[in-house]
Amino acid sequence: MSSLQSSGATRLSLISRARTHQADAWCELVDLYGPLVAHWCRRFGSDAHTTADCVQDVFTAVYKSLGRYEARDCAGSFRAWLWTITANKLRDRLRAERHHNQARGGSSALIGLQAIADPYNDDAGLSDQDPTSSDELRSLMARAMDQVRAEFEPRTWDIFIRSVVDQLSTQAVAEQYGITEAAVRKTRSRIMRRLRQQLGDAGDHSSRRMSP
């Protein structure tokens, strides 16, 4: 059974490395969550140009405020934090556009903007839950898996895939690879913790638990 390669890149979480403004970590973070932020923007009516601008605004805000984020060791904690930032940026842009259209007297445009604005009604407040679809969640997880895969030896990764992605029983995976069921569960747990860490949902203590 193989374990994480002990490279410096795996000793600290992605969030911890991004906080210190490491260029490679920042690129990973944007590659990981940028498509999701763009999806959120498009879902609430942004065109391609506005979406690109909004994504840039969101990650500028993340860059400035990442030091205040604390992982909660639960699924989706970073995603929820990122959604709050995105929703605020969308609301700011929507208000600016609505004000611009009111100034021009564009009643038909205003009606359309008001329809889009419903999720951001100040009286209703912002939802605590992000609007991520199941397809987008799967895409996010796939990107995270691509980013951490090289940290594991092929056999370890294959055991994880057979158990989690292919959803074979623990017994079947153990028999296929000639290992114990406990070893399968340990591998599955180790890589899932690493993925939670990559997604920003677990701190650096997770990597210490996974050290050989």
For residue 104, what pLDDT is reported?
58
More confident residue, 169 or 41: 169
**C-alpha radius of gyration, the chain, whole number:** 21
CA proximity to 159, closest of 190, 198, 135: 190
> Distances from the Cα of 25 to the Cαs of 2, 9, 29, 119, 150, in angstroms?
25, 9, 6, 33, 15
Higher local confidence (pLDDT), 125 or 62: 62
Q: What CATH code would you report for 14-120?
A: 1.10.1740.10
Q: Does 36 score more than 70 pLDDT?
A: yes
Is 131 within 8 Å of 40 (Cβ atoms)? yes
Portion of the chain with pLDDT greater than 90, in percent: 61
73 has a pLDDT exceeding 80 = no
Could you tell me which residue, 118 or 36, shows the higher pLDDT?
36
Residue 8 has pLDDT above 60, yes or no: no
Provide the pLDDT for residue 93.
80
- The fold adopted by the segment(s) 134-209 is Arc Repressor Mutant, subunit A (1.10.10)
Residue intervals of the chain classified under CATH 1.10.1740.10 are: 14-120
More confident residue, 28 or 209: 28
CATH 1.10.10: which residues of the chain? 134-209
- Residue 197 backbone phi and psi in degrees, to 5: -65, -45
